[in-house]
Amino acid sequence: MIRIANGQGFWGDWLEAPVRLVEQGPIDYLALDYLAEITMSIVQKQKLADPNLGYARDFPPLIGRIARQIRERGIKVVANAGGVNPVACAREVRRLAPELKVAVVEGDDLYPRLDELLGRGHMLANMETGEPLVSVRDRILSANAYIGAFPVAEALATGADVVIAGRCTDTALALAPMIHAFGWGAEQWNLLAAGTIAGHIIECGAQCTGGNCYVDWMSIPDMAGIGYPIVEAEADGTFVVTKHAGTGGRVSADVVKEQLLYELGDPRSYLTPDCTADFTTIQLADDGPDRVRVSGIRGRARPEKLKVSIAYQWGYKAIGSLVYTWPQAMEKAGAANRIVRERLAALGLRFDEIYTEYFGVNACHGPAAVANLDPPEVQLRIGVRGADKKAVDRFTRELVPLVLSGPPGATGFGDGRPPVREVVAYWPALLDREEVRTKVEVLA
């Protein structure tokens, strides 16, 4: 049996979680999941500005902080913190923790190869619209194939203390240690599906130990000290989801079920680079306090193509807000919205979209919101999006004037004009598996 913990569910998760996982009990592997689609475009822009960047910068200081425990306890760290520059990330880890052996998995970054791939007839068409990638070629910010667990397991086989990948799948961070430790083969579909689902359960960190949980959430103990998840995996594909004893949060079948539904399309065909997992075969059983045993999982062959995540520039946006106080808070906010829209039209400004929300009334639940006819305050939030940066910038100057020239009782304008930000759009595509060539490099 091996213990695989996950201490980060995204770049920006609780900094203390990985440290506590290492300090509060035994683990064999520490998985750290940093990447999302939007993250890839952010790190790509960082790398374009500075070739020494392009990775999750929280990661190297964290490894420096826990390097002694990693060495003394034989813990292996597996992370996708490399972003679009895993070698630079590894070098920074080595600088802060020179006693550690670091391995890097490369090959997912297709951004430098886009013209080559397009020139050889790979359309990289948008999976949702069918539009060819050439239509946005000049606006692309990043392009990364989702790679699976086997290259990460290959890196673990080098004896590295820390394995750093780029855009491997979230589930691969847990599956790779199982492949490495148990010797699972590339076509043992049921085992690979079990490891994939284990990775899916813990990939969002504390979301499977009571965080962001709707089931009886007010009774979940010690959320301030919530324990992050651990999978106790066995060679036959069964595993237990748990956390360190004495930590906050809760692990139960209900909580695990909520996480299983996260980002789930067809439950019978959960596609990854490693296998196709069937979520309808999952069997859950309580296995003691804060322990859920998972078994019965079945899988099928992996898909022929790999998914490619492409980010591209899609204009500009700005979002501003004002708070209107009682009485007639909603009426004031509605009037302010109308005034802004009339003034924008009078200026001849056109946008792809103008969007208004009323927080405190219906911003989260829309028409399903419970009626609130006389709220004590309402936050008006207006956003615009368009290709003309100057027009978007002009919008940012139309909200604050309402403090004196609009309805009474406006507040919440202390930050002044909202910033104009670049809009990054997502382009999903498919690519033949053999076109993605991974390699492992060791920085000893």
| Domain count across the chain | 2
Whole-number pLDDT of residue 39: 86
Taking residues 39-56, what's their average pLDDT? 89
Average pLDDT over residues 387-398: 97
Q: Is the pLDDT of residue 294 over 90?
A: yes
Q: Which of 277, 303, 329 is the last residue of a domain?
A: 303
- 288 and 228 in one domain? yes
pLDDT at 444 over 80: no
**Cα 400 from Cα 398, distance rounded (Å):** 6
Residue 372 has pLDDT above 80, yes or no: yes
User: What separation in angstroms does the CA of 28 have from each of 22, 77, 205?
Assistant: 9, 9, 17
Give me the mean pLDDT over the 184-192 stretch: 98
Q: Of 238, 272, 303, which closes a domain?
A: 303
Query: Does residue 251 sit in the same domain as residue 349?
Result: no
- Residue 155 domain flag: yes
Environment class of residue 240 by beta-carbon count within 10 Å: exposed (0-12), middle (13-18) or buried (19+)?
buried
Residue 54 sits at φ, ψ, to 5 deg, of 105, 20
Mean pLDDT over residues 176-193, rounded?
A: 98
Q: Are residues 181 and 271 in the same domain?
A: yes
What SS3 state is found at 242? strand
In a domain, 134, yes or no: no
Quick one: average pLDDT of 283-290? Answer: 97
Contact 295, 386 (CB under 8 A): no
- In this structure, are 257 and 372 located in the same domain? no
Phi, then psi, of 82 in degrees rounded to 5: -65, -20
User: Is residue 132, in this structure, part of any structural domain at all?
Assistant: no
Average pLDDT of every residue of the chain: 96
Please state the pTM of the whole predicted model.
Answer: 0.95
Residues 315 and 391 in one domain: yes
The CATH number of the domain holding residue 356 is 3.30.70
What's the confidence (pLDDT) of residue 44? 83
Task: Specify whether 340 is located in the same domain as 200.
Answer: no
Using one digit for the tens of pLDDT, what is the confidence trace for 106-127?
999 999 999 999 999 999 999 9
- Token reading at 136: 């946005």
CB atoms within 10 A of CB 150: 22
Residue 234 CA to residue 287 CA, distance in Å, equals: 15
Segment 418-444 shows an average pLDDT of 94
Residue 104 lies in a domain: yes
209 and 92 within one domain = yes
In a domain, 138, yes or no: no
The whole-angstrom separation of Cα 55 and Cα 53 is 6
* Domain limit, last residue, from 268, 303, 338: 303
Q: Is residue 375 part of a domain?
A: yes
pLDDT at 313: 93
Could you tell me if residue 127 is inside a domain?
no
Kindly state whether residue 65 falls inside one of the protein's structural domains. yes
- Domain housing 338: 310-425
Residue with tokens 């996950």: 6
Burial of 433 (0-12, 13-18, 19+ CB in 10 A): middle
Same domain, 335 and 228: no
Q: Residue 442 — pLDDT band, cuts 50, 70, 90? A: very high
Among 161, 144, 139, which Cα is nearest to 76's? 161
What pLDDT shows up at residue 49? Answer: 87
**pLDDT tens digits, 296-349:** 999 999 999 999 999 999 999 999 999 999 999 999 999 999 999 999 999 999
Percent of the chain residues topping a pLDDT of 70: 100
pLDDT, position 40: 83
Q: For residues 84 and 46, give the distance between their C-alpha atoms in angstroms, rounded to a whole number.
A: 9
Q: What tens digit of pLDDT does each residue of 53-75 get?
A: 999 999 999 999 999 999 999 99
Find the mean pLDDT for residues 200-215: 97
Does one domain contain both 322 and 243? no
Same domain, 351 and 257: no
Answer whether the bond into residue 327 is a cis peptide, omega within 30°: yes
Based on the domain organization, do 320 and 292 belong to the same domain?
A: no
Helix (H) or strand (E) segment spanning residue 404: helix 402-405
Do 180 and 255 have their domain in common? yes
pLDDT band at 45 (very low <50, low <70, confident <90, very high): confident
338: its two tokens: 């109308």
